[in-house]
Structure 1
Amino acid sequence: MFNTLSGAGFLFTLLQLSITCISSQTQLEGTLHRRNYFYIGEKYDNTPGTNNGSEIAFAQMYVEHLVPANVTRPLPILMIHGHGMTGTNFLNTPDGKLGWADYFMSEGFEIYIIDQPSRGRSAWQMDIDGDQSDFDATYISSHFTAVEQFNLWPQAVLHTQWPGNGTAGDPIFDNFYASTMPSLVSDKESSIKVKKAVGELLDNIGPVVLLTHSQSGQYGWILGDSRPSLIKTIIALEPIGPPFINAVFPPLTSARPFGLTEIPVVYSPPISSPSDLETEIVPSLSNSSLGTTCFHQAAPARQMINLKEIPTLVVTSESSYHTIYDACTVEYLAQAGVPVTHVQLANVGIKGNAHMMFMEKNGLEIAEKVVLSWIQKTMQ
């Protein structure tokens, strides 16, 4: 016999069913895990504008630690975001789908995600930290999310994978743009702070798979150089480059005086200043009409000695501006003795991506077929 429900009871039953459905959907889509966070790298200085002995903390770095219920991989993945971004890049996509953190937890990896010092949840301190800048909405659209509409480089027309139209007013774009953050103007200052804070993190947590994106690409070389025993592989998604000079977007000014970094890394034979790195143009990888001059070292090339035992993967999408110069970055690494592999996504059948590939519609395909595949092959 069926029980007759009152109106209130019927509504309560529907509510229970709805909660159950939502909970089941979440469990099906997500990965059961524990989450905690902590800070590292902080220092104290006099509170600006005071002389009474009060102090303020600065240079601290936010670290988020995600541990799946079933850890099956021996090494965690440390993910470092790019300029204008925070660690939220890897949590989910702007259209609400699972991000790379969840995917790799489902594959049994612990995950560490940071906000770079002076960015996002890692507080920027006025009158202590350096100047900041931010990206306007048009910059984000033209460089990352709607590149096919602006056509600033030839491959931009191939972009198809951003979820939404990529411009202000589209809810997906608005959600993404709202997540962008002011960033330190000086890449040198950022590099010094990241080297210190992430170095301390690595000393605490041990060896990792290091995954970088864009601006943080140079941190891969810096951290691999300073903690070579703790970086077991570097996965660089479109790392900042090319060597020694900015490209594509004017002004094409000098940058990265140590080749691929703003701060010193160890070379063999040693160098005492950037001027010790003698350079020459690589004509086959340069294109003045596209705003790219590719430099490498004049022979015999000095070796980036601390990176020579770290397998390195550089990933380039089909329609990003990085298609123009990532090959130059890879050539520089190889010439300096770094064991580097370059995967261009279009060459492995993954098409239509721009610079924010891990947020795009086929982002999990990239995670599985390229990044996970590399880790499994390299960590054998």
Structure 2
Amino acid sequence: MTSAQPAHRRPPHRGAEPTRRRRGGFFLDGEWDAKLHRPVGSAWVRWEAPADEGDWTAPVVLVHGGGGQSTDWLWAVDGQPGWAELFVGAGHPTYLLDRPGHGRSVWDVEAMGPRSAVPDTTVLARLFQVDEAELRGRFGAVAASSTGLFADAAAAQRRDAAALTRLLELVGPAIVVTHSAGAPAGWLAADRRPDLVDIVVAVEPLGPPRTRALTEGVTALPLGAAGQPRGLATVPVLLVTAAASGHLQADSETAAFLRGRGAEVEHLRLGQHGLDGDGHGVLFDRNSTAAFDLVHRHLPAPARPGGGR
């Protein structure tokens, strides 16, 4: 037992509310590599839904950011529930994707290439706008679950988009929620299969456009034809910016880029709604639950409330 796990700590199962849920998990196959004789880019998916079908509304797919994993959606500081729990509680069958090479999804170094070192607390504290003491304490799950970034951004985004598209083909039309470097997968999947994406909710997306990992604008891969989005231009976008992240300029440029290519974008600035102090990790930061509630109120009405699609 370590100092971070004192003997008097209340076990998580004692603090949880009893619920009746459907839940499960599965792996999505990767793309077959004929040279290596194995699939590459497989992805683990965890899902949960209300027990009663009459409580269901639009499915949600959650795509984590950068060096994170799907566990990012399962917790928040100060004992708040994670966004995954909040979506399920609001009636959404909810799918959590471990992007290829992250979390439970296999990192095949021979096929997927190298990645950067695991970030230390200095790097993570700067990224999420918390001090190092908080990162070792209240935000400890960030440090515990973080890993490095793939060196080949285009190849990584190609795998992410392929996995997300395969998942949407299985789930059906869904709300796609992305965070940070998970955003390119959302843009690419929406562009390829707009019929399967009700809306893209991009929380602090990777940006601004045309940086090193976004050579084609908001992705490292071309959208549509000649860089002009086709499907993405028909999918509504809700872009979410935290108050203290320093992401406002980058997110504004991302919104302008998408609008310039025909997309309908609503830019939700949390600070304008009294939610101050949250950094880049807003989905598990101090105002996590309030931020979720605000985002949820800005989602479109489900196609068929209380049933299938």
Q: Distance in 1 between matches of 2:272 and 2:292?
A: 16
1:166 aligns with 2:134: yes
Letter of the structure 2 residue corresponding to residue 260 of structure 1: V
Structure 1 distance, partners of 2:32, 2:218, is: 31
Matching residue within 172, 181, 187 for 2:147: 181
Equivalence for 1:109: 92
> Is 2:296 the partner of 1:372?
yes
User: How much does 1:324 deviate?
Assistant: 2.8
2:119 to 135, 139, 152: 135
Match of 1:40 in 2: 28
- TM-superposed CA distance for 1:179, in Å, is 1.2
Please say if residues 177 and 203 of structure 2, whose CA atoms lie closer than 8 Å, have aligned partners that are also in contact: yes
Structure-2 separation of matches of 1:46 and 1:313:
39
Q: Greater CA radius of gyration, 1 or 2?
A: 1
The CA deviation string for residues 209-254 of structure 1, in whole angstroms up to 9 with x for no partner, is 0000100112221111011100011100011111112xxxxxxxx4
Q: What's the offset of the Cα at 1:94? A: 5.2
Q: Does 1:227 align with 2:193?
A: yes
RMSD over aligned CA atoms reads 2.5
Structure-2 separation of matches of 1:356 and 1:145? 8
Aligned partners of 1:236 and 1:90: how far apart in 2? 14
Identity %: 27
Which residue matches 1:348?
Answer: 273
For each residue in 1:288-340, what CA deviation from the matched residue of structure 2 results, as whole angstroms up to 9, or x when unmatched? xxxxxxxxxxxxxxx52312221110000111021232111111111111000
Q: Encode CA deviations 1:17-60: one digit per residue, 9 max, x unaligned.
A: x99xx65x4226xx532221111132444797xxxxxx444311
The corresponding residue for 1:259 is: 217
Structure-2 residue corresponding to 1:27: 17
Q: Which residue of 1 aligns with 2:63?
A: 80
SS in 2 for 1:101: helix
User: 1:119, CA displacement in angstroms?
Assistant: 1.3
Task: Give me the whole-angstrom Cα distance separating, in 2, the residues matched to 1:83 and 1:353.
Answer: 18
Q: Is the 8 A contact 1:119 1:183 kept in 2?
A: no
TM-score (norm 2): 0.87
- Please point out which of 156, 159, 178 is paired with 1:193: 159
TM score, norm. by length of structure 1: 0.71
Could you tell me which amino acid in structure 2 is paired with residue 199 of structure 1?
T
8 Å CA contact 2:60–2:93 kept in 1: the answer is yes
- Structure 1, unaligned stretches of length 5 or more? 1-17, 49-54, 150-163, 246-253, 275-302
Distance 1:377 1:349 in 2: 24
**How much has 1:375 moved relative to structure 2?**
1.5
Kept in 1: contact 2:128–2:281 (CA 8 A): yes
Contact kept, 8 Å, 1:233 with 1:378, in 2: the verdict is: no
* Offset from partner CA, 1:249-272 (integer Å, 9 cap, x none): xxxxx4422211101111xxx42x
Residue type matched to 1:59 in 2?
G
Q: How far apart, CA to CA, are the structure 1 residues paired with 2:33 and 2:229?
A: 35
CA shift at 1:206, angstroms? 0.8
Query: In structure 2, what is the Cα distance between the partners aligned to 1:62 and 1:131?
Result: 20
Question: Could you tell me which residue of structure 2 aligns to residue 279 of structure 1?
Answer: none
Gaps of 5+ in 2: 1-9, 305-309
Displacement of 1:355 in angstroms is: 0.3
